[in-house]
Amino acid sequence: MEKKYEAIDNIIAIEVYLYIIFTFITKGEAIRNILLFSSFFLWLATIKNRRISWILKEPVSLLFWGNIASILIAVPFSIDPLYSLSSLKMDPLRAIVIFCLVSTMLSDEKSLKRFVTLSFFLLVFTISVGYYSYWAYDLPLMRPMTVIRHAWHSRFAIDLNTLMSFTFVLFLLNKDRKQRVLLLTLIAAGISGVILSSSRGGLAGFVFIALVWMIYFQWNKSLNTKIVVASSALIILIFTAALFLSPVMKNRFFYDKQNILSIGERTPIWGPLLSAAFQKPFLGWGYGSEIFSMDLPFENTPYKIAPVHVKPAFRNPHNPFLRIFFHQGIAGVILYAALLIAAVRAFWRDSLDSQGMKSYILVACSGLLVGTYIVNAMVENSQLRDLALILGIGLAAKNIKNENSHT
C-alpha cells in the first residue's frame, strides 16, 4: 500500500512541476487545466493518508481561506450573481488547487531543490525569449513576443523577479565556482531584462526584493560590503546605459510628466473605481472582472460610465487592493492585506530561525511578497492564483520535513 501511495505522489509531483513550467508558457491553457485538476483529483483521493494539518491550522492558511470566503460571500450580493458564480472557476478555484498541491507536495528538501532547479531553467527560457524578441523585432522595450511565450512588459518583469529570486537560492546552495559564475551571469541578465522592460513597478519590486535579501544577510552577519557595492554599481551602470540607449525609457522615467503623475494612466481608473466602491463599501459590487466593465456601479458617481468605455486599456484596476475593494468590499481588502502581512511575518521569522535551503526559500518568498505583491501590486493587477503559488512554496518550506508525507 505504501508503494501505491508513493507512486501516486510521484505522479502528482510530476504534474505540479509540469504545471509550473506551463505557467511560463502562453500557449497550453487546456494542458494547464488537465495537469492542475487531474493532480488535484489524485491528491483528494489520497487525502486521508496525508499530513496536511497546516493547511487548516497555520495563520497564513486560515487567512488564505478567509480570502476565499470573502469571494464566496460576494457572489450572492453581486449585481449579477450568476456571472459571479461562474467566475469562481477561474482565479479562486485555481488558487485553491495550487495552494493545496504546492504547500503539501513540495514540503521536503528534494522537492524544493527540484523546484529551484526548475526555476533556473525557466529563467533561462524567459530571458532567452525576452532578449530574442527585443532584438529580432526591434522593440522599444523588452518583452517576449514569440509563439510559445507572449506577455506585456510588466508581466515579463514580474516573471523575471520571481524566477531570479529562486535561482538565487540555487546560487547560494551551489558550491561549484564555475556554476556560481554561470548563475550570477544569468541573474545579471535577468536584472538587465527587468530594467529594459521599462516596467517601473517591476524595477521597484526588484529593488525591494534586493533590500529584503540585504537585510537578511546583514541580520546573519554574512553581508559582504564589497559585493554589495559592486552589485549596486553594476545595476546603476546597466540602468544608466539603458536610459542612454533607449528614448522610451527616458520618457517613461523622466520626461513624460503627465504619464508619471498619473502613475502610468492608473489614476484615471482609480478615481471612478473609488467613487463606485464607496457606493457599496461593505460587500462590494460582486466578484468577477466583467463587473468592472458594467456601467451600473458608476451610474450614481460623477463618472456615469465604466472606465473601459473611456479607454479600452482601463478594463481592470491595475491594483489588487482597489480591485478587491470594488468587488468584495472593505472586509475583502482587510483580509487580503492581513494575508500578505501575516505571510511576510511568518516566512521572515522562520527564515531567521532556520538555515540552508529552508531559510533561503523563505527569504525568497518574503522578498517576493513585499516586492511583487505589495510594492509592484500598487500599479499591477496581480492574481490570487499567482499569490497562491508563492504562499504554497513558502508554507512547503516552512513545514519542510524529511519523512514521507503519509501516516
- The pLDDT value recorded for residue 227 is 65
Question: Which residue shows C-alpha cell 513545514?
Answer: 399
Of 154 and 3, the structure prediction assigns the larger pLDDT to 154
Cα separation of 105 and 396, whole Å? 8
Cα separation of 166 and 115, whole Å? 8
Contact present, 382 and 339 (Cβ < 8 Å): no
Asked whether residue 241 carries a pLDDT value surpassing 80, the answer given is no
- The pLDDT value recorded for residue 258 is 64
Q: Within a domain: residue 289?
A: no
pLDDT category at 221 given cuts 50, 70, 90 is confident
- The pLDDT value recorded for residue 406 is 37
- The pLDDT value recorded for residue 164 is 96
- The pLDDT value recorded for residue 28 is 80
Q: What is the pLDDT of residues 129-156, one digit of tens each?
A: 999 999 999 888 899 999 999 999 999 9
Question: Which residue shows C-alpha cell 464566496?
Answer: 72
pLDDT category at 401 given cuts 50, 70, 90 is low
Q: Within a domain: residue 286?
A: no
Cα separation of 218 and 352, whole Å? 11
Q: Within a domain: residue 207?
A: yes
- Determine whether 187 is exposed, middle or buried from the number of CB atoms within 10 Å of its CB (0-12, 13-18, 19+): buried
Q: Within a domain: residue 273?
A: no
pLDDT category at 48 given cuts 50, 70, 90 is confident
Contact present, 15 and 32 (Cβ < 8 Å): no
Q: What domain range is 122 assigned to?
A: 2-259+316-398
Asked whether residue 232 carries a pLDDT value surpassing 80, the answer given is no
Q: What is the pLDDT of residues 333-347, one digit of tens each?
A: 999 999 999 999 999
pTM score: 0.93
Cα separation of 378 and 266, whole Å? 10
Our count of domains for the chain comes to 1
Q: Within a domain: residue 283?
A: no
Q: What is the pLDDT of residues 205-214, one digit of tens each?
A: 999 999 999 8
Q: What is the pLDDT of residues 158-199, one digit of tens each?
A: 999 999 999 999 999 998 989 989 998 999 899 989 988 888
Q: Within a domain: residue 111?
A: yes
Cα separation of 141 and 192, whole Å? 12
* pLDDT mean across residues, the chain: 89
Lowest-confidence segment of 105-109, 236-240, 254-258 by average pLDDT: 254-258
Q: Within a domain: residue 272?
A: no
Q: Within a domain: residue 264?
A: no
The DSSP letter of residue 152 is -
The residues facing 150 across adjacent strands are 145
Asked whether residue 284 carries a pLDDT value surpassing 70, the answer given is yes
Lowest-confidence segment of 240-249, 298-307, 369-378 by average pLDDT: 240-249
Task: Calculate the alpha carbon distances from 304 to 268, 275, 316, 325 in Å.
Answer: 14, 10, 17, 19
Contact present, 307 and 265 (Cβ < 8 Å): no
Average pLDDT estimate for 89-109: 94
